[in-house]
Amino acid sequence: MEYFFNFAKMSYVQGLKTDGCILCEIIKNRDPRNDLTVFEDDLFTIVVNLYPYNPGHLMIFPGRHIEDIRDYSPEESARLHELSCRFLSILDASHHPSAYNIGYNMGYNAGASIKHIHLHIIPRYPRELGIADLLAGKRVLVESPMDTAAKIRAALS
């Protein structure tokens, strides 16, 4: 098996962990130096994924801590749909993807490393494969999450 290392992620792996939910902490305690929040209202927060699969990778999550999509209120379900459509249009304008993967990892065995339910919107692009994809089976990102957040914030205004 081939390995591809991301040494910058070590500070995340070894860093101080919150006792609670990381998404709840994002809502409560923002550090403006590394805030990837691009939208927030009474029901939802939208952030650029700190470890994105592709440029423009967003996560949409409710302000209240729930772990199952069946726990959304009708108002939350409607608002989530509205925000998803709005941010697809924003990503179309800011990043020009050719397609999207949209979905949840609900439950640990589905890959949910964060219990607080969150919807991923992952832009997809033609010719995504690079040398690391081919040789190591890993992704090479061409845009930092901070730059992505700045582009999306600019597209919102």
| pLDDT (tens digit per residue) in 94-117 | 999 999 999 998 888 888 889 999
- Which residues contact residue 64 at a Cβ distance below 8 angstroms, ignoring those fewer than 6 apart? none
E strand or H helix that includes residue 99: strand 99-103
Please tell me the pTM assigned to this model. Answer: 0.78
Confidence of residue 1 (pLDDT cuts 50, 70, 90): very low
Max CA-CA distance within the chain? Answer: 47
Q: Would the pLDDT of 130 be above 50? A: yes
Instruction: Give the DSSP H/E element, type plus range, for residue 155.
Output: helix 145-156
Round to whole Å and give the CA distance between 47 and 59.
5
> What average pLDDT score do residues 22-35 get?
84
- Rounded Cα–Cα distance for residues 118 and 136 (Å): 28
Asked whether residue 118 carries a pLDDT value surpassing 60, the answer given is yes
d(CA 64, CA 86): 21
State the virtual CA torsion across 118, 91, 57, 71 in degrees, nearest 10: 10
